[in-house]
Chain A
């Protein structure tokens, strides 16, 4: 009898833990009309200045709903009006005249007029307030109110990308009254914009609740509210979507997409990104300064196979230094896998196999240090390992160093004396979608190659002709001339092969019925601005 009591006690205790479960099916189902978005990155701050919206891209995705901008990108990254009804670039590309929409108010009821816009432009110009996205804002020198419906923004030099800057996430127009009220430090937790949704509650790093803004100037929001919920773990995000606890998830790992594809209630939304991944080559390395070696490295790696097998087809081999959807992209080549030709090129460059099979020239082995971050780029370490193994097949000894992702940028952007890598994985995401911005960030000659790179020309690439073309791509009066210069620059860079080009990954999100209108923008963002839930 007593023994039985013991057993009962233990069994009872075990049961106790499952008791509260009850039979409450579909618990976390959302309130009607509210869309819940399970995000892979958390929303921490909501201010276009002071480090911009963080974490990336979660903060920007929320900002798309909270704030309106002067201009916007449509689904194909074309620039379209938003708070500005129209815009005209001057012939010298040194100013832009914007016709402002009237009758727009911020969520706090204050008017979003020419004075408010001027305040915003000047705030973003201020280097102490706006510390990030500087290349986008540095060219701007002022904003002048012509009349209450017209504003002129001036730049110091011809700047064809000005509309891209205004359409960029950091072009979000904030309420000057709210800045006054909450202070420069407080605004990020109390954002007030003029977008279709306004803040209801914000628990940074956990949950942001938005509700429809009734006085929105444009089309009525399609949902009564949107909740951004941080769910870091991919499997947990997928489970949350499957159970209906959330309506939308982003960053679905490609190897898990198949779990969702059989589900009739779930739609997988995919789009190639703007970020071509590749290995930056350290051009100060004697072997890598030879274009033949660089081309050989590109020939030695089966890029198309990586896209197909590692990423299950959710990636493509690039055909230019720019991604397919970048503005001004031109197809300038193709990735070829031909190890025999790679070996021939290396032999031409003077490298011959040594006793251990590793190529040598003048007694120096062709040993390259390959830096790869862990978990910063899709499949980064796996891809690095395939690259190293492929290079080994042509006699190049690539040694992988894995770097903790938080420390990676420091290793990458080093002054010349401390540059420890020969090949380093990198991908640049031109958040304003401009191909010119992308190429200038990566391939414009540095002012001083011994110092840290000006932007992201980490491998010290130099081509005077490319430099000139990039200036033309930004300042030629005719758009066709700008695009032509950009196309030519892509050709030259592709031929110089300052990178071992790898793959362009697709951004994959998933949406559950009955939510509609969710799009994945090439710049990573999963956009819920036009989403609707009946």
Chain B
């Protein structure tokens, strides 16, 4: 197991190097002159050239690339015009907020989505199933920013229960978490329902029931374990969506995470900062994928011997 995890993580540097290279090429081919932007709207050509030299943008691309990669190795993400230096400390400063939001959203999904799916399956074609399935369709259809706005208007403005923006204590997490998790909860509930219904038809369930287990006990003892495999897959895959969705939700709720910082970076055209944040998003995504593979082996012992 440890060897497997180590092996999986050993692939990360190679993939990251590929990602860094692709990002570098993308950012170098973005239209517009980085030096001209840094120098400001009214800069003369001579001033722009001076900035170009200062930022090392006059060097051949290959040299810029080598400098970029060797900088990353020691944690130097380059010169961010926004922060007048290495943006890494500022990104790290913002990272906990984004991680807290993502963790809360995944936690809520597990706590709400899976039980909802199981309940819907257990009461298939009866009232609880109809209610849950209808909510699922609704939650899938509502865009997260709109749901967030509704929640702010209702929970914060009308009822005065929650802060309307920002992060002032754990209660601030509620609205962004709900807005971010809604779609994921719906997806997981819908999928869990389908898988449970399928599993309930299988022989081992009939055997368990024949042994005298109640339906509920058969569900919990036998079915749930088998349901976990596809559920972990979906949650893992959707973690990428959470990162993307967090950009929107963070901005809406003025949540001080890196998604919000990314939008700021784009609006002031801080290439270095955008590049650094995108890289961190990509690395997070890779890490989550590997984590999912590891969790797989826990929930599905068959894979351990494959």
Query: What mask results when residues 164 to 203 of chain B are scored 1 for a CB within 8 Å of chain A, else 0?
Result: 1110101100100110000000000000000000000000
What residues of chain A lie closer than 8 Å to B112, measured between beta carbons?
10, 13-14, 17
Within 8 A of B (CB), among A403-458: 405-407, 409-410, 413, 441, 451-452, 454-456
Contacts of B33 in A (CB 8 A): 410
Q: Which of B13-67 contact A (CB under 8 A)?
A: 31-33, 36-45, 47, 50-51
- Which positions 229-278 of chain B face chain A at CB distance < 8 Å? 251-254, 256, 260-261, 263-264, 266-269
Q: A17-B108, A50-B84, A135-B42 are in contact. Are A44 and B264 (CB under 8 A)?
A: yes
Cα-based distance from A17 to B171 in the complex (angstroms): 10
**In the complex the two chains form, is A55's CB within 8 Å of B152's CB?**
no
Cα distance, A125 to B104, chains bound together (Å): 51
Which of B4-12, B211-219, B287-295 is found at the contact surface with chain A?
B211-219
Partner of B82, one of A204, A410, A413: A204
Contact B263 A232 (CB under 8 A): yes
Cβ 8 A contact of A24, one of B161, B217, B260: B161
Partner of B83, one of A42, A204, A206: A204
- Secondary structure at chain A's binding surface: helix, strand, loop or mixed? mixed
Flag whether B75 is at the interface (Cβ < 8 A): no
Bound CA span A207–B165, Å: 13
Which chain A residues lie closer than 8 Å to B214 at the CB level? Answer: 2
Task: Pick the interface stretch among A64-72, A234-242, A472-480, A488-496.
Answer: A234-242
Known: A20-B170, A131-B39, A231-B254. A205 touches B90 (CB 8 A): yes
The residue that B163 contacts in the complex, of A2, A10, A245, A406, with Cβ under 8 A, is A245
Contact A20-B42, Cβ < 8 Å, known A28-B168, A203-B93, A410-B31 = no
CB of B279 within 8 A of chain A? no
Complex CA–CA separation, A454 to B31 (angstroms): 21
Residues of A within 8 A of B252 (CB): 233, 235-236
Instruction: For the complex, count residues of B whose C-beta is within 8 A of A.
Output: 71
Q: Which residue of B lies closest to A127 (CB)?
A: B47
Q: Are B82 and A236 in contact (CB under 8 A)?
A: no
Tally of contacts, chain A with chain B, CB under 8 A = 186
Within 82-108 of B, Cβ neighbours of A (below 8 Å) are at 82-85, 90, 93-94, 108
Q: Are A3 and B216 closer than 8 Å at their CB atoms? A: yes
A364 on interface, CB distance cutoff 8 Å: no
Q: Are A20 and B171 in contact (CB under 8 A)?
A: yes
- Measured CB to CB, the closest approach of chain B to A203, in angstroms, equals 7
Chain B residue nearest to A184 (CB atoms) is B84
Are A134 and B47 touching (Cβ within 8 A)? yes
Known A-B contacts A55-B267, A206-B256, A406-B267; the reply to A13 vs B115 at CB < 8 A is yes
Q: Can you sample 23 A-B contacts with CB below 8 Å?
A: A2-B217, A3-B215, A3-B216, A6-B119, A7-B119, A10-B116, A17-B111, A17-B174, A20-B171, A25-B161, A28-B163, A28-B166, A132-B41, A132-B43, A185-B84, A206-B94, A236-B253, A236-B254, A240-B165, A243-B157, A407-B31, A451-B45, A452-B45
**A-B pairs with the 8 shortest C-beta distances?**
A2-B216, A132-B40, A10-B115, A13-B111, A410-B32, A231-B254, A239-B164, A21-B161
